[in-house]
Structure 1
């Protein structure tokens, strides 16, 4: 089967991580797989197995979110050659807009105020001829909002990469969050929760942050709130692919206060590393993680759960988390994708 997987960036965001891992797993099962992407800043953030062909479409960044979205769609559409593939599978709204006929994985739903983004988001849901979600909770949102019935195929996790990582000790004792500083990640509320912990030797470390959007105003508000609270977080920014597992494994606990998620891949990676995890109490995260993590609904309850995670780690919960992460293999995800593709009308 000739399969094209489309994504919007070469940088380490969840959907891009998903695309590369799925492509490699499909190729390992004998499929002919090509990944198409926009080359924001060059090639992919990590090496891609040579069994997968990669087509990187050059794309210099342009100012303005709306203009960037429209240019992104046009650039990918002009370069892409859909007639060469049996399956065209888009992983985000930009690539789904660039492909005239495609399968779409809806990782999570957003609400945008920028007109170009809102229109892009809507078209990327209604135009594809088949739909997937990585959790039943997001699939239910799609059904409620659009009357569609996506199939559900959970994410895979490269659990071994995190389970065998040597803990990074450079930052001492720290609470880790991955995903950068942005509204969807609940970054300001994380500051408020951290301030309530009353654990003076515990640093707050934030990794990641590659994004298509302009969050300068939110980041300024975040910095002002940190100053108001007297907090000095360690902001690492994007970290190398080989560096992340050690940073994850070295954390005393992992905080995941996102307001919207489709699966929670970073939190699952933290479980694989044996790190206690606390997430926002969302239906999707209840579905994915069950009793393997702690939950909070606001700064106070997040802080209480994080305090327990750091001061009273539960070995049974840690073991259950490791087992859960190990059960989510990319091989299983690839097999489920192939079974789904086989049901589609060419």
Structure 2
């Protein structure tokens, strides 16, 4: 079976992590897999090494000075569309709205649903929902949103997590470097609840450091980042902003945290906090239906700065649910995800070129 998986970036965002891990698991199961993506900022490969059984096709996408988000979205679609020929594959599977707009007839994984104000992005988002002929969601919560909003019934296939990599991580180097720290992964942006986390840390009454990793994104959050920095100064909080962390070093960073905070306001699964559970770290997430579905009793739930601060304070140094967290993470495997995808692909067996 010839499978094309399409993503919009080579950078370490959740959807890209998903795409590469799924591709490797599919290849391990015997599928012929090619991952297509845009090489932003001069990238010729992905943020981490990829199993050589997976073919990579990275399409050059040079930066354009002064380009706004809307123009960048339209150019992203056009460049990927011009380079990609779906007729050579049995399955074309897009992982985001940009690649779904570029791919032609395709299956689409809806990782999460969002609301956009940029006209080009809003139109891209809508087309990427209504045009694909089949849909996958990584949680029942997102599938329910898709059904309620568009009448589309998706196949639910949860993410996997590389539990063993995080369970075996050595936290010592990061603890030596940073001391005691509270970690969040995902950067500084509205969807990640970055301002709410600042407010919570300010009332935590604990000298623990706030460390923020990740954050590569297509979108322009400079105004939000400026408000965040101003508020941090007003509150007397001095976060450590690492930006994207090397793939090899991320498990140790996660394992070294005393608590992992993820006050996101919209998610499809929550891969980053699941990796923290795999490392045995206590996790506090916002009280969203998707998190209740995925994490169950392994996480603590809190919404709003005061509740978040209370939950973080209680979770610091609390290893009472470490074993449950590891067991929960271990139930989500990429091999199982690949098997479920192959079953779906077989059910949609008509080659793309003959649709």
Q: TM-score range by the shorter chain?
A: over 0.9
CA distance in 2: counterparts of 1:142 and 1:208, whole angstroms: 28
* Kept in 1: contact 2:280–2:319 (CA 8 A): no
Please give the secondary structure, in 2, of the residue aligned with 1:51: coil
Structure 1 unaligned segments of length 5 or more: list them: none
Residue pairs, 1:183-222, within 5 angstroms: 183-200=190-207, 202-222=208-228
* Kept in 1: contact 2:260–2:284 (CA 8 A): yes
CA distance in 2: counterparts of 1:60 and 1:285, whole angstroms: 37
Task: Specify the alignment match of 2:60 in structure 1.
Answer: 58
Task: Specify the alignment match of 2:244 in structure 1.
Answer: 238
Q: TM-score, normalised by structure 2?
A: 0.96
**Number of residues of Structure 1 aligned to a counterpart in Structure 2:** 343
Q: Deviations over 1:309-328 (max 9, x none)?
A: 005x142x111110011111
1:136 to 126, 140, 143: 140
CA distance in 1: counterparts of 2:85 and 2:53, whole angstroms: 19
Please give the secondary structure, in 1, of the residue aligned with 2:253: helix
Q: Deviations over 1:239-265 (max 9, x none)?
A: 100011010000000000000000000
Q: Deviations over 1:154-201 (max 9, x none)?
A: 00000111000000211100000000000000000000011111002x
Q: TM-score, normalised by structure 1?
A: 0.98
* Kept in 2: contact 1:272–1:321 (CA 8 A): yes
* Kept in 2: contact 1:271–1:318 (CA 8 A): yes
Once the 2 structures are TM-superposed, how far is the Cα of residue 270 of structure 1 from its aligned partner?
0.3
CA distance in 1: counterparts of 2:283 and 2:161, whole angstroms: 16
Please give the secondary structure, in 2, of the residue aligned with 1:331: helix
Once the 2 structures are TM-superposed, how far is the Cα of residue 61 of structure 1 from its aligned partner?
2.3
CA distance in 2: counterparts of 1:265 and 1:329, whole angstroms: 12
CA distance in 2: counterparts of 1:180 and 1:250, whole angstroms: 18
* Kept in 2: contact 1:7–1:37 (CA 8 A): yes
Please give the secondary structure, in 1, of the residue aligned with 2:27: helix
* Kept in 2: contact 1:259–1:280 (CA 8 A): yes
Task: Specify the alignment match of 1:159 in structure 2.
Answer: 163
Q: Deviations over 1:265-286 (max 9, x none)?
A: 0000000011000000000000
Q: Deviations over 1:298-319 (max 9, x none)?
A: 10111111100005x142x111
* Kept in 2: contact 1:61–1:68 (CA 8 A): no
Task: Specify the alignment match of 1:179 in structure 2.
Answer: 186
CA distance in 1: counterparts of 2:306 and 2:30, whole angstroms: 50
Task: Specify the alignment match of 1:22 in structure 2.
Answer: 22
1:254 to 247, 252, 260: 260
Please give the secondary structure, in 2, of the residue aligned with 1:175: strand
CA distance in 2: counterparts of 1:158 and 1:330, whole angstroms: 8
CA distance in 1: counterparts of 2:167 and 2:241, whole angstroms: 24
Task: Specify the alignment match of 1:89 in structure 2.
Answer: 93
Please give the secondary structure, in 2, of the residue aligned with 1:337: helix
Please give the secondary structure, in 2, of the residue aligned with 1:36: strand
CA distance in 1: counterparts of 2:191 and 2:315, whole angstroms: 23
CA distance in 2: counterparts of 1:59 and 1:161, whole angstroms: 32
CA distance in 2: counterparts of 1:87 and 1:147, whole angstroms: 24
Please give the secondary structure, in 1, of the residue aligned with 2:316: helix
CA distance in 2: counterparts of 1:345 and 1:114, whole angstroms: 36
CA distance in 2: counterparts of 1:307 and 1:60, whole angstroms: 45
Task: Specify the alignment match of 2:9 in structure 1.
Answer: 9
CA distance in 1: counterparts of 2:21 and 2:12, whole angstroms: 12
RMSD: 0.7
Q: Deviations over 1:7-46 (max 9, x none)?
A: 0000000000000000000000000000000001312000
Residue pairs, 1:301-340, within 5 angstroms: 301-311=307-317, 313-315=318-320, 317-340=321-344
Once the 2 structures are TM-superposed, how far is the Cα of residue 345 of structure 1 from its aligned partner?
4.6
Q: Deviations over 1:137-168 (max 9, x none)?
A: 00000000000000100000001110000002
